[in-house]
A and B are shown apart, each in its own frame.
Chain A
Amino acid sequence: MSDPDLLSNSYRTQPDDRGHFGQFGGRFVAETLMPLILDLEREYRAAQVDPAFAQEFDDLLEHYVGRPSPLYFAERLTAAIRAGSEPGKGAQVWFKRDELNHTGAHKINNCIGQILLARRMGKTRIIAETGAGQHGVATATVCARFGLPCVIYMGAKDVERQQPNVFRMKLLGAEVIPVTSGANTLKDAMNEALRDWVANVHDTFYIIGTAAGPHPYPELVRDFQSVIGKEARAQMLSRINRLPDLLVAAIGGGSNAIGLFHPFLDDPDVRMLGVEAAGEGLERKHAASLAGGFPGILHGNRTYLLQDDDGQIAEAHSISAGLDYPGIGPEHAWLKDIGRVDYTSATDEEALDAFQLLCRTEGIIPALEPSHAIAAVTKKAREMDENKIILANLCGRGDKDIFTVAEALGVKI
């Protein structure tokens, strides 16, 4: 197999020097933030060629986060899928177990990278936005680890429905500010974090939780999360001496998906599928920006957005608070348009079914976010031959979601 880095027609050289992925991405921020964004880019370029930075990042991932995460063959899930398939059909399902990370999701990979950058830039205060609270918890965790004050913006609605994570953040020493502007959810929390940042540019670093926002965030979040795909690629080769036929990952902003996909983009035989949240269905309330949105500009980048004809942003809906965002990272927008990655969606109901299926067949309680990916995996696996291999990213564990799931199933706990 040739080294993908050496291919001349590489899908892995984005973005361009202006931070554009084709027509997407860019730096659509207020002038006050531009000098800081440019500083961040300079500092990131320096960090990329600094062996000490890579060494500290790798060391923390190994000893603090618990990497590499295992690669796991889901034998009983595969058998359950085959039981409902035509003879000879039913691909093998493998999981990248990023739910086993410290703090229970892939979010921590990125937070480690960004807090090292913040420290490098001499910033002394950290802010972040959070929806379900996973990125908030991961940010509060690294802030505690590095002794930096931490302010988390969270929509007032999400504060109410994610109380355990709010308490976790507080235990970790973070200040959680409920956001009551707009619709009180994730996009409003992001607006409020940007308002804080613009007023505190001199000392504050904004740890963005997904592969979106102004350049260089989509690139650096992708790079930090690419540890998922790099490990998975090496683990596949060492375990079964071949690459998977299909990669599957859930997409809100898209950081776990781009982290898995990016190291495989130049492997022509590996297909990829991103799974958006279809909420109550694509004809009703949902969070599928690629399926139901149009290109536009929000939160620093041009990407697909749920919006009306006048460019007003629509409210997203998903049972998974982590996918409940009306936009998507710009690299996914580009990968969709050039056709390298396929995108589909799964409804709340399909995700709930997949959630329960994984609990019962594998003894793993997944988060509602990867439950969307698992829903797509069960469909795809049935169409594929038995000798094919699907690798899905199990990007978070479901402890945080048991209350939501109980409510959806009509169970009182």
Chain B
Amino acid sequence: MTRLSQAFAKGHPALVAFVTAGDPGRFATGPILDALVEGGADVIELGMPFTDPMADGPAIQAANLRSLAAGTTTADILAIAMAFRERHPTVPLVLMGYANPMTRRGADWFAERAKEAGVDGVICVDIPPEEDDSLGPALRGNGVDLIRLATPTTDAARLPTVLEGASGFLYYVSVAGITGKQQAVQASIEEAVARLKAATKLPVAVGFGVRTPDQAAAIAQVADGVVVGSAIVELVGQHGKDAAEPVRAYIASLAGAIRAARKEVA
């Protein structure tokens, strides 16, 4: 079993926690990642900052700019990942970001470095299945999952295209929109997750706009994972170098709610 599949087989839905690499400082992300794990996150998403984060809302845009202004490089991000892997040998780590920083030195270069750094999966916002060959084969060849995204606009006709070649887990973007803005109606999430789970054996994690323990618990009743990003990134922005403790406490509140809502595993 891979680290990712183990994280989704713990008997409770997985809490997937996102932070931007190089935030709140170029070398200050490590303690935030540790706080995520201590708080109870099951999967870590490490955001790769990009100058043009066109799918992100204000919170993650600001984190991207903070990180780049601090001088964060791709080498730094890989070093953050590698150090995390040494400290946390069993916690899955996924890199999330945009196509250009991932492919700048070639897909093979990136895939090999990601593997070396102990990265389990990659989420690339702007590589849809139609452009899979620009990154997918290189990642899979190195044993790194390219995690696919499904959205409210992914209809039944399109879903097979999204699922073909998908691995790791399926990320359901519950809102047609950008990160951190509004939350989807619970009923629409339930309907979508049921539809996705009927079509794939992969775990389905739900994200975009998830902020409160109650929201996380409600989603945890139907999904295999709950993704939280902007709310954590806002805490990092607000508390800077002192963000680790508030982040840990916040994650603990989410993890507690998700575990209390433990669903019957399908």
Contact = CB atoms under 8 A, between A and B. Distances in A.
B240 interface: no
A297 B126 contact: yes
A194 B99 contact: no
A182 B100 contact: no
Contacts of B151: 30-32
Contacts of A302: 134
Contacts, number: 119
Contacts of B54: 30, 190-191, 194-195, 299
Interface string B122-162: 00011110110010000000000000111111110010001
A198 interface: yes
A28 interface: yes
Contact of A191 (B52, B148, B149): B52
Contacts of B238: none
B101 A312 contact: yes
Nearest to A36: B153
B263 interface: no
Contacts of B103: 296-297, 311
Contacts of B126: 28-30, 297, 300
A33 B55 CA distance: 11
Nearest to B99: A297
A305 B103 CA distance: 13
Interface in A269-324: 294, 296-300, 302, 305, 307, 309-313
B232 to A, nearest CB: 20
A182 B173 CA distance: 24
Interface residues of B, number: 44
A34 interface: yes
A35 B154 contact: yes
Contacts of B230: none
B20 to A, nearest CB: 14
Given A28-B131, A32-B152, A310-B104, A298 B158 contact: no
21 contacts: A30-B54, A31-B154, A32-B151, A34-B154, A35-B155, A182-B61, A190-B54, A191-B54, A194-B54, A198-B177, A199-B176, A199-B178, A294-B104, A297-B100, A297-B134, A299-B52, A299-B54, A300-B126, A311-B100, A311-B101, A311-B104
Interface of A: 18, 26-36, 38, 181-182, 187-188, 190-191, 194-195, 198-199, 201-202, 294, 296-300, 302, 305, 307, 309-313
Given A35-B153, A195-B55, A311-B50, 16 more contacts: A18-B130, A28-B99, A30-B54, A30-B128, A31-B148, A32-B153, A32-B177, A34-B128, A35-B154, A187-B52, A191-B53, A195-B177, A297-B100, A297-B103, A297-B126, A300-B126
